[in-house]
Structure 1
Amino acid sequence: MRTPHDLSQPVSTPGGRRHALGSLALVLVLCSPLVTLAQEETRTPTDPTLEELLAEAFKTRPELQQAEAPVRAARERVPQASALPDPVLQLGIQNDGFNGLMIGEMETSYFSIMVSQSLPFPGKRALRSEVAKLGATAASAQMGRVRLSIEAEVRRGYLELLLTRERLMLLERLQTLWKQSAEMARIRYETGEGAQSDLLRAQLELNRLRQRRIALQAEERVRVQTLNRLSGRPLETPLPTTTRVRDLGVPEPGDVEATEKDALERSPELAQQRALVAQAGQQVALARKERLPDFTVSAGVMPRGGDFPPMWQANIGVPLPIFSGSKQDRVVAERSAQADASARAVEALEQVLRLRVRERLIALAALRDTAAIYRDGLLMQSAATAESTLTQYRVGRASFASVLEANTGIIRDEEDYLRTLVDAQRLVIAQAEVSLEPVASIGGTAQAAGGMPGAGSTPSAPASGAAPTGGSPGAAASSSSSSMSGM
């Protein structure tokens, strides 16, 4: 019996030397991306293109100006809240009878000039100003959310572009595999060792790859235009990239307590809610203070003309809170209920933030372990399986269906590995964004959600052209986790 090593040696058949050359080329194609796997570092390299996109986005995005306007409006309310009411000027006349103007002739006829000013009870103006300041603080926290979201959008868009271009590279590799398979099927057919259907099927898969390349190129153009829109550039501006998805790696999950603390400190929603809690507390204090009466002070002079000396008057008015049981007291109760609701909202938000942090850390650890499996063995094993299958087909010990499955499997594993790296980077972006969105899925294997590029008929699905399906850790959270077969 020939060993796998023996099977890799040329066989004395017509065209054997061409078989050997084809097998050698296939080995080089399969192993070329694996050389760097052992040296891969789990880091996120600095990307000048990405940094430039982020800088331009922060300068040009209209959403930033839109978010700044309510903050400016809230700050303008602060001096309004502490300002005194406008004074009131009253001009009047008092006259005896209707037969003529009697000022200067009658003692009780005169002009009047009166000024009045309302004065809030001491402490009310300061509380009103504090309530307005806290409202501005809450509004500015929303500005922080907009900035975090803009950065996350750009980073996710750039990640999608990198993945699309990497998938195009995988498509090129798959095309090389199918060319090698088609050449071998042709040689076997010409020498009478293989069926014509094998050659036709290989040619069919090559044509399908051309279709998928068109779809991927269109997707790449859309990704570029989306990124240009996010950074305020003309939509068709070229975006050259040097970073590859393989360069990103999977970072260490990090310490749970430190990550939670960071999220609680940086969360715009939590900062906003805390400002609203403080504002609600000041509103309760103000509502209690509102039960104390304001004052209205007025003074006036009344010239009487003639030999009559002018008159003057001064007044102070105080409202009588005889209906406070149905008004002021109810305001205090209302504000207290609102303050309690705000406090409970902070507690709930802190719980959600802690949960999201732990979800992402668990998912990141799972993705890191999954990536290690791919990097340390699965990809090399998949390449070796494809090489062995094609070699056995060359000597007539394997069917062409096995070649189809092996070709599909290696690219499926390669794309699943890339998808694992991308899902990990999405978690990192969400962590930096302090996102409140849940992790959609962290279970299952790193199988693709559908067929792979060139996933033609396999023994298990001869008609559909789809490879076996599965789910990768975090794959459901990926908007671009669709397989290449659907391109």
Structure 2
Amino acid sequence: MYRVIAAVLAAAACTQPVQAQTSPPPAAEPTGETLTLDRALELAGATAPGVEAATAGVRAAEAQRRAAGLRPNPSINVEAENVIGTGPYSGLSSAETTVGMSLPLELGGKRSARIGVADAQTARARLEVITAQADLRLKVTQAFVEAAAAERRLGVARDQRDIANESLRGARVRVRAGRASPLEEQRADVQRINAETALAQGERSAALARANLARLIGREPGRLDLAWFERTDGLGPKLSKSADGTLALALAQADIATADAQVRLARSQRVPDLTLSAGARRLEATNDVAAVFGVSVPLPLFNNGRANLDAARAQRDQAEALRRGAVLDAQQAIASAETEVANAEANARTAAGPALAAAQEAARIARIGYREGKFGQLDLLEAERTLAQTRAAAIDALAAYHDAQARLERLTARAPSITEDRP
């Protein structure tokens, strides 16, 4: 009898058209609008903590950019000399009071170097916003895929429960009519119990997947766009995607730009600054007033800034090495993801197409043959088990395909031009 079923499977695989459906949607679908992936992404973007944190980082970087462009503040100096001493200086009659102002003058391009560092950090902060949005898209897509797959698995579990109940009723009729042994009824009852257990597990899994999606989008998902879940891209040769211009490499390049700016800043800080001062001095004894001028220059005897410059250069070398490593990692990850997408797409088309059609036809023939007494119960159970496994494999293959596709899109997400957004 197994040879009969195998022959039916082979014939159906050759003759049946490719079918994308794995199982009909659950009968009790929630009412309301159908939640598409694009709508889920839109809802999640409105309340995403990661994106909000990255946006706050941009505001902080822009504030630091404004602070970097400010010049040093002047100082007001007040001095009193020749007071509270001895002899003629015991009081205030010989006091010399000086009131003046000091103004630091930055040399060596320190201000422009600070601005360069702040600009590089601001550019990286804007890239982090795009990266956070890409990460959110991946997370929401994966949650949407898992929820859709759970809905499909739940539909399969309900179908298997109904089939198990029908098989139990048929077995009872055969046993009551004396056409089968009570063992057949026991087997059918075991199948029903297992189907009820699988249905309960499917309901819990679907509830969990929907709850996870709801946490991301901030509301109940409602009815999901299951038609999107069943679609795959067309087969055929595809161009391999390059790692150039991706977010990962753009972030690494932004780190190099920041390190270069830090080197320029460290180099500028080796140039001593001048402090100019000017004031007026009043001599209490003669009631005369005289002008006072001064210039101060720090002497770089102990700290000439060489160590800071060496550290900045080493960090620049580190950033360059990390960028080269990021290129290799990105290329490897993209190649692996492209292979996973191709394999998952082939598995999805096979499992949801010829294999599923053949399993459905074999189960249909086995049910008819069992009712007519041509097939035994074991043949029927084997056909039903094969159908359930094929439907589950089709759902798993579609979920794996969409997950691999989402990860590939995240790896190849392009970095926008950020120079035009600088203030």
**With structure 1 as the length reference, what TM-score do the two structures score?**
0.72
Map of 2:416 onto structure 1: none
Map of 1:484 onto structure 2: none
SS in structure 2 of the partner of residue 54 of structure 1: helix
- Whether contact under 8 Å (1:250, 1:371) holds in the other structure is no
Map of 2:80 onto structure 1: 93
Map of 2:53 onto structure 1: 66
Q: Residue 302 of structure 1 aligns to which amino acid in structure 2? A: R
Map of 1:147 onto structure 2: 133
Q: How far apart, CA to CA, are the structure 1 residues paired with 2:21 and 2:175?
A: 42
- Whether contact under 8 Å (2:97, 2:281) holds in the other structure is yes
Instruction: Flag the 1:311–1:251 CA change in 2: closer, same or farther, 3 A.
Output: farther
Q: Residue 69 of structure 2 aligns to which amino acid in structure 1? A: S
- Whether contact under 8 Å (1:371, 1:421) holds in the other structure is yes
Map of 2:65 onto structure 1: 78
Unaligned runs of 5+ in 1: 9-29, 41-46, 104-108, 437-487
Instruction: Flag the 1:418–1:360 CA change in 2: closer, same or farther, 3 A.
Output: same
Map of 1:195 onto structure 2: 181
C-alpha displacement of 1:125: 0.9
2:392 is equivalent to residue 415 of structure 1: yes
SS in structure 2 of the partner of residue 92 of structure 1: strand
Q: How far apart, CA to CA, are the structure 2 residues paired with 1:413 and 1:245?
A: 20
Q: How far apart, CA to CA, are the structure 1 residues paired with 2:54 and 2:387?
A: 48
2:232 is equivalent to residue 249 of structure 1: yes
C-alpha displacement of 1:430: 1.2
2:36 is equivalent to residue 56 of structure 1: no
Q: What are the Cα deviations for residues 170-192 of structure 1, in whole angstroms up to 9, with x where unaligned?
A: 12322343344334433432343
Map of 2:257 onto structure 1: 278
Instruction: Flag the 1:35–1:182 CA change in 2: closer, same or farther, 3 A.
Output: farther
What is the 5 A alignment of 1:205-284?
A: 205-233=191-219, 237=220, 239-244=222-227, 247-250=230-233, 255-257=238-240, 259-261=241-243, 264-267=244-247, 269-284=248-263
Aligned match of 1:371 in 343, 348, 352?
Answer: 348
Map of 1:449 onto structure 2: none
- Whether contact under 8 Å (2:267, 2:309) holds in the other structure is yes
Instruction: Flag the 1:35–1:200 CA change in 2: closer, same or farther, 3 A.
Output: farther
Map of 1:441 onto structure 2: none
Q: How far apart, CA to CA, are the structure 1 residues paired with 2:121 and 2:293?
A: 39
C-alpha displacement of 1:202: 0.9
Map of 1:451 onto structure 2: none
- Whether contact under 8 Å (1:189, 1:199) holds in the other structure is yes
Q: What are the Cα deviations for residues 233-290 of structure 1, in whole angstroms up to 9, with x where unaligned?
A: 2xxx361124246632245587444x224xx4241x4322211111111211222222
- Whether contact under 8 Å (2:100, 2:277) holds in the other structure is yes
Map of 2:362 onto structure 1: 385
**With structure 2 as the length reference, what TM-score do the two structures score?**
0.82
- Whether contact under 8 Å (1:81, 1:125) holds in the other structure is yes
Q: Residue 52 of structure 1 aligns to which amino acid in structure 2? A: R
Q: Residue 96 of structure 2 aligns to which amino acid in structure 1? A: Y
Aligned match of 2:334 in 354, 357, 361?
Answer: 357
2:313 is equivalent to residue 328 of structure 1: no
Q: Residue 100 of structure 1 aligns to which amino acid in structure 2? A: G
SS in structure 2 of the partner of residue 371 of structure 1: helix
Q: What are the Cα deviations for residues 390-434 of structure 1, in whole angstroms up to 9, with x where unaligned?
A: 455556665433322221111111111121111111111112222
SS in structure 1 of the partner of residue 154 of structure 2: helix
What is the 5 A alignment of 1:283-362?
A: 283-304=262-283, 309-324=288-303, 327-362=304-339
Q: Residue 150 of structure 2 aligns to which amino acid in structure 1? A: T
Unaligned runs of 5+ in 2: 23-33, 414-423
C-alpha displacement of 1:88: 1.5
Map of 1:167 onto structure 2: 153
Q: Residue 101 of structure 1 aligns to which amino acid in structure 2? A: L
Q: How far apart, CA to CA, are the structure 2 residues paired with 1:244 and 1:411?
A: 21
C-alpha displacement of 1:166: 0.9
- Whether contact under 8 Å (1:64, 1:143) holds in the other structure is yes
Q: Percent identity?
A: 21
- Whether contact under 8 Å (2:18, 2:353) holds in the other structure is no
- Whether contact under 8 Å (1:81, 1:129) holds in the other structure is yes
2:101 is equivalent to residue 115 of structure 1: yes
- Whether contact under 8 Å (1:163, 1:245) holds in the other structure is no
Instruction: Flag the 1:179–1:244 CA change in 2: closer, same or farther, 3 A.
Output: farther
- Whether contact under 8 Å (1:300, 1:312) holds in the other structure is yes
CA-atom RMSD in angstroms: 3.2
Instruction: Flag the 1:208–1:244 CA change in 2: closer, same or farther, 3 A.
Output: farther
- Number of residue pairs the alignment of both structures matches: 391
SS in structure 1 of the partner of residue 108 of structure 2: coil
Which has the larger displacement, 297-306 or 359-368? 297-306
SS in structure 2 of the partner of residue 297 of structure 1: strand
Which has the larger displacement, 312-321 or 377-386? 377-386
